[in-house]
Structure 1
């Protein structure tokens, strides 16, 4: 298969001028330089709708058609792209290192950084690539899956806080059910939030309550009651009542978080179903809905952004970084990556080995070579990205029958069994 062409900048900037915008919370510093690197204009605009319109107007008046900036999303980038200006992203780490090109002080100054961005866009054009935005459905899906991810992180932190509180206030409920934030566990805590109320339970009463809430029955009422009585007793009396208030407060927030996560998951399912590339990512083994949506949202739908599989693997942080000087060569962990993409890819890869023999063998071989679980997962994720990239470029669903490495492995297993 031929790799996709990579978008590039023209050899010289249109009009001979380039601009840099240093993004900030309240205002943004801008600088425009000419073909010799001399400053044409400098100005600052407020982070308001009127300010962003003023930014676009003044850049056009200065003759700048290309703008360098440190991030590739947000209102500023959207305003620049809407005005048909070419946007080039230069990461903050690169800008930090580029400051030494213009002086040894290494100072952080918004106006100076805007100049560094503009001049780097003028001098380093061969290494830079214009930002090609994803479609609106992909951007919306990305915002939704990232919001869900943040809420899940909050839920985990709050669940840990509740568990730590219960170990003192009501130890019996910790470990009573499989997960502290499961529906049955939250329902139990809502009804029995302290030791005094749990003491009222008998096996018969507990069985009746479990039947009323539709418990699946993985543990018998007798086993649950034994767990409650075997645990250290929690706080009782006035102290128990006071601690129960804390339990209810944490429980209410945890319940609300869980409900909002479910709401976002419903939105994700709807947005994914309407996306043109949904069939590609939902066809992957054990991708599910949320996992497929995360992969789609983080990879995007702009094929020109990743002209080959290795560029996608590098951005995802699953390809090692090689450092070589003279006879010394070191291969290490890649830090400058899209962490959201890496998390999505590694999460998929780690679970895919339970449903795909090829993935299971790659993971097992890495473990046999002495790699730990995270390293083995990244090795598997890198291999998967080569498969995903080809499916993505061809807009074709993953078909195990066309996966030659998988079919070769299955053929070997059949031959060995015969």
Structure 2
């Protein structure tokens, strides 16, 4: 059997082929373009790569055009963590020398000796991978929007507390179009105090508000004209210019998050697993898309529900040595799926009577909030694994029979 290792770089890639005995059969340096990819495929075909017996490939990344070309067909691609590859490098020498061709050889030997210990990239459908791209991008855009919003809020606290008081009654205040329009018109407290009712009303209308404008106008004007401490005028004007620069970034982040959310809502319902995932309490389209993005639709990816729970970080880790026995939460996990699970369990507590009873029972047993919520997520993601496997919708009577009996 032949094994291939590829040391990935930005402009070129080093390729190494070894056989069962570890003998180096071939090595090449290919460019990161279509000609280089064709050279790689020709090299693999020269050494017996076919659709029926493809040569497995180890590489230190799971993304990019090179990986997309290699994934065509049934070839197994193993994305080896660079830290793990560095540990394997120490097995072949103590001098700590490093080279790109040498790393390619190390990756090929990883498959030769320990291929069963590494997981190949899942064989997800193109639609599932498209959902993953959009869901992760929307999640990143949401985090970026919140980060910039926190920066704006921190800056307003330094010189413009009236704006924070005016937007406090609004949920997610600084990210709302009305807040951004008002800050554009009045970037400093001095200009805010001089705003007329018609100016505030026009800003609210430009933001899309159509009801309760007069009452909201009076409330905002009253807050802007209240007594607050002020920075010196020159400092205040400079801070206002800084705030306007941050505001442009916030507007771009809000627009990106909204557009990606619309793309997710358009793409995710087309997936065959969408109905099953959405049947679970606490999951809307955006959160359900994030769950599908991380677990994929390859039914062979996880041998059982325990594997999925460990991957999500909901299953605890047991460390036992002699008389010592310690159970702790899992630190090595898929962080995106774990974050989605936190939001999922938090919403399910109120969306499902059985889930809420299960959570309260764990709290009564002495669990902290996070531990009880993690336990609920652990149970529900196991149920999701079974429902996806059998293509059945969520049934609360079967999912929480004892909890519903206690609630009744």
TM-score by length of 2: 0.87
Q: How does 1:195-234 map onto structure 2 within 5 Å?
A: 195-201=189-195, 214=209, 223-230=219-226, 232-234=228-230
Q: How does 1:69-80 map onto structure 2 within 5 Å?
A: 69-80=59-70
- After superposing on structure 2, the runs of 4+ consecutive aligned residues of structure 1 that deviate more than 6 Å are 202-205
Question: Partner of 2:384 in structure 1?
Answer: 388
Structure 1 unaligned residues grouped into runs of 5+? 1-15
Question: Partner of 1:124 in structure 2?
Answer: 114
Question: Partner of 1:31 in structure 2?
Answer: 16
Question: Partner of 1:9 in structure 2?
Answer: none
Deviation at 1:385, TM superposition (A): 0.8
Call closer, same or farther: CA 1:373–1:304 in 2, change over 3 Å.
same
Call closer, same or farther: CA 1:29–1:377 in 2, change over 3 Å.
farther
Q: How does 1:42-191 map onto structure 2 within 5 Å?
A: 42-63=27-48, 65-82=55-72, 84-106=74-96, 108-177=98-167, 178=170, 179-191=173-185
1:337 equivalenced with 2:327 (yes/no)? no
Question: Partner of 2:273 in structure 1?
Answer: 277
Report the Cα distance in structure 2 between the residues aligned to 1:258 and 1:195, rounded to whole angstroms.
24
Which moved further from structure 2: 245-254 or 157-166? 245-254
Q: 1:215-239: per-residue Cα shift (whole Å, max 9, x none)?
A: 7659855554454345634447554
Aligned partner of 2:297 among 282, 294, 301: 301
- How many positions carry a matched residue from both structures? 397
Report the Cα distance in structure 1 between the residues aligned to 2:299 and 2:179, rounded to whole angstroms.
45
Q: How does 1:223-302 map onto structure 2 within 5 Å?
A: 223-230=219-226, 232-235=228-231, 237-302=233-298
Q: 1:50-109: per-residue Cα shift (whole Å, max 9, x none)?
A: 222222222232346111223333322211122643323333343233233323445554
TM-score by length of 1: 0.85
Deviation at 1:276, TM superposition (A): 1.4
Report the Cα distance in structure 2 between the residues aligned to 1:125 and 1:241, rounded to whole angstroms.
63
Call closer, same or farther: CA 1:62–1:325 in 2, change over 3 Å.
farther
Report the Cα distance in structure 1 between the residues aligned to 2:338 and 2:98, rounded to whole angstroms.
29
Structural RMSD (CA): 2.8
Which moved further from structure 2: 176-185 or 298-307? 176-185
Structure 2 unaligned residues grouped into runs of 5+? 50-54
